[in-house]
Structure 1
């Protein structure tokens, strides 16, 4: 031991651990995008990309108003532009090297020394060729003309001064290759892993988010595809087992082309298995300014707004929260007008919908798909289910660092004290009605302790939604006495 003469001091690690921050509502969204327009070095294909703004999303994935072909653009518009939210993780499954169509050479009119192709899918590669209108003369890119996208994603071929293209030419022959999003189907969204190459695609990429970004996905979406029961089932499976550690929540749409009457929706939900506590079945679609959105897109936005108002804690249900829409619609554009009776019927079957009753269009419904088969509050109320998910993910991130430390009374004390302080803080803030952690002998038999397994019991009670406010009125004749002063 070193010799000391005088007073010495030292420090040891704080016994109470600060809880890790987990954002419960970060969405990971699977779909298609016009990645031929990407500003990145390489088009993002089956790669989770974290974006924090509309500009970042458009730079990475391009943009088109053809949302039927490019489903991610619907989400980009609603999430970043209409609701001003961030961040999101987007996954495009459309591969320009595979999902493409060759467009044969055709004569295009030259207007103001440029040819404009009104198509956001044109791929700007070597397959884009420009020749004279009779196809006798070929022209060189960069020397005779330039190619660029305009603000609408259209391809503009501009004639360069001093090049070989004659001044005053009225037409040019243009051939190119373009994206073919129509070939993308449920299998592409579901994805998998190529045994030979190890390449991971589709929903399997949920497991790459935390290793890439240190973020836990909170919501899983696939607007335009989640009405497919197989896609929805895989979404729920992935939500329940991220990296064999974390949990998320799936927002699953239901068809609006075959399901046109609200009374038919519950039977479809049950037959097709939209009944998990980790999902919310959604019907119908939404519309804003004539543009159709899938409900999952706008419910993700409502969840994001509600979470942001509570410091990222998912204590509030998105139900009865405003949606930035002006109609509820079917796939063919027919408007759906639900009153409280019809909307509540859907709610009673574990289906969230849209209600335009007081204060404009609102999300309406608190239940997960598990209702009414289950009545356990932690499984049937969306906000309570998400609070449990958020609390579990927070505990995992916070106490992962304690794994493999010496199992001493100090370790147990550090963990229990830290969790109780955290739960007390959540209770004081109104995010919990109460909570505690216990380390009990009855839960920890000697055989478990010898095997290095330590069991902590956590009790939490998140506040449920005030779903029904009942006011009883009575005529009180005693107030007639006021007539006599």
Structure 2
């Protein structure tokens, strides 16, 4: 060490650890996308992509207004066009290697241009023939228009035979959405949620699979995954009851119970939303609405999305049949842990604040959506904020740092009315000597979010004493 003589300054680490900000409503959508519109479709298969703008989402996934075929586009439309929220994580499972069929079509070339009518055409698989003779690829060009139709530009006027492969989204099954881990260690389907945090440093907040979540297997896996992301984090799973199968509101609770759609981390929605004749699954619009409400409240998920406007002009079944629920009917569904929509005061609004575990579970931390989201947020934030303390000496300095910094954080949230109050303690009875010797340190967090004002009562009484005003 060099000889020191004089006054010197040294920096020490801050004794209070600032909390890590998490994105409470970061939506991850699993489904199918029109990747045939991309230059390299194979690179958009079973890979998580994040977008902050509509154009970025389209560039990474393609876009089609046919939401029944391309379900990821439903979330793109809802997030970026209807609610203007971001970001969105998109995972496409439509695979040209598995979900494509070989077909041919006769196209009339007029003035050097022809249009292929088939949808989902894979440009790399297109072969033009004059009769049985292939046309050299140098003699024609291919380009998609805004509606996804493939235009052929060539000097060969007249009829040509076009042989090609096209994507067939109908071949995608629930097993493709569920996915898993391959022998080479790669993730597929819903398992790809484990790649979101390592890639983007954002914790998933809401998991959706438009159309596919009506399948009980997909819903079950979403439910399981919502409680174990990267072995640490939790999220919410939004699923839909199939309106093609369940057409009456009184049958929704039975479907929910028969298919085990009951968990504090799961929300169940029925029926679908329609806007200008375009249908959206209610889970899709709800995910966007939750993001919007969070953004209006500094990103903290303490505010219910219920009684806030959806982007819809009708509630419908899959075949387009309109469903108009009265307040009593909508409340019946809410009382069974089902979220619906209501056109009562102020237009069409999301209606329901109970998680799917209600009424079987009545613990407020589990049954109110906003309260549950606060607990998930706080657990995720605790992990992120104090991960840096792992393997540091478990001494008084570490304990005081965690306790002091988290109490400051909770006091600030209480001052801003995000929560009614909260504190963290390091208790002797929860830290036995055997646990401390083994390197386990337990901190007890007490958090009380405000429950939603689900019923506001006005008590009206006739008071005879005001007759005295007649003699004033």
Number of equivalences: 472
1:180 maps to 2:168: yes
Measure, in 1, the Cα distance between the counterparts of 2:185 and 2:398: 40
| Corresponding residue SS for 1:176 | strand
Provide, for residues 186-226 of structure 1, a one-character-per-residue CA deviation record: whole Å limited to 9, x for no partner: 1111111223x333211111111111111110011111111
Work out the CA distance in 1 between the residues paired with 2:31 and 2:423.
Answer: 41
Partner of 1:157: 152
CA distance in 2, matches of 1:20, 1:292: 38
Work out the CA distance in 1 between the residues paired with 2:90 and 2:446.
Answer: 35
* Residue 126 of structure 2 corresponds to residue 128 of structure 1: yes
From 134, 145, 148, the counterpart of 2:143: 148
Residue 112 of structure 1 deviates from its aligned partner by: 4.7
Q: Which residue of 2 aligns with 1:239?
A: 226
Please tell me whether the aligned partners of residues 384 and 463 of structure 1 are also in contact (alpha carbons under 8 angstroms).
yes
> Which structure 2 residue ranges, 5 or more long, are not aligned?
none
Query: Quick one: distance in 2 between partners of 1:66 and 1:41?
Result: 18
Q: Match of 1:115?
A: 114
Q: Alpha carbons of 1:102 and 1:293: their partners in 2 closer, same or farther (altered >3 Å)?
A: same
Asked if structure 1 preserves the Cα contact closer than 8 Å seen for 2:102 and 2:165, the reply is yes
**Which of 303, 322, 325 is the equivalent residue of 2:312?**
325
SS at match of 2:151: strand
The residue that corresponds to 2:11 in the other structure is 11
The equivalences for 1:71-470 within 5 A come to 71-104=71-104, 106-125=105-124, 127-132=125-130, 135-141=131-137, 143-159=138-154, 163=155, 165=156, 169-195=157-183, 197-470=184-457
Provide the TM-score with structure 1 as the length reference: 0.94
How much does 1:131 deviate?
2.5
Q: Once the 2 structures are TM-superposed, how far is the Cα of residue 171 of structure 1 from its aligned partner? A: 2.6
Inter-partner Cα distance in structure 1 for 2:15 and 2:441: 18
Which range moves more in the overlay, 58-67 or 340-349? 58-67
* Contact 1:40–1:59 under 8 Å retained in 2: no
Shift of 1:3: 4.4
Distance 1:415 1:67 in 2: 47
Q: CA deviation at 1:407?
A: 1.4
SS at the partner of 1:226?
A: helix
Contact 1:33 1:62 in 2 (8 A): yes
The Cα of 1:482 is off from its aligned counterpart by 4.5
Give the superposition deviation at 1:136: 4.9
Q: Determine if contact 2:302/2:449 at 8 Å carries over to the other structure.
A: yes
> Residue 43 of structure 1 contacts residue 61 of structure 1 at CA under 8 Å; is this kept in 2?
no
For 2:52, the equivalent position in structure 1 comes to 52
Indicate the larger mover: 4-13 or 475-484: 475-484
SS at 2:456 equivalent: coil
Q: Displacement of 1:145 after TM fit?
A: 1.7
**Most deviating of 56-65 and 414-423:** 56-65
Q: Which moved more, 1:468-477 or 1:380-389?
A: 468-477
Per-residue CA shift, 1:360-418, capped at 9, x if unaligned? 11000000011000110000000000000000100100100000111111111111100
Q: 1:9 to 1:199 in 2, by over 3 A?
A: closer
CA distance in 2, matches of 1:188, 1:421: 46
Cα distance, 1:445 vs structure 2: 1.1
Offset at 1:229? 1.2
Cα offset for 1:293? 0.9
| CA–CA separation in structure 2 for the residues paired with 1:68 and 1:464 | 37
Q: Hey, which bits of structure 1, 4+ residues long, moved more than 6 A?
A: none
* Cα contact 2:29–2:207 (8 A) shared by 1: yes
Please list the CA deviations of residues 129-170 of structure 1 after superposition, one character each: whole Å capped at 9, or x if unmatched.
Answer: 2233xx1543223x32210110111111122xxx5x2xxx34
Per-residue deviation at 1:5?
3.8
Alpha-carbon displacement from aligned partner over 1:265-313 (angstroms, at most 9, x marks no partner): 1111111100111100111111111011111101001101110001111
SS at match of 1:23: coil
Distance apart, 1:107 and its partner CA: 2.1
RMSD: 1.5
Alpha-carbon distance in structure 2 between the residues aligned to 1:412 and 1:255: 50
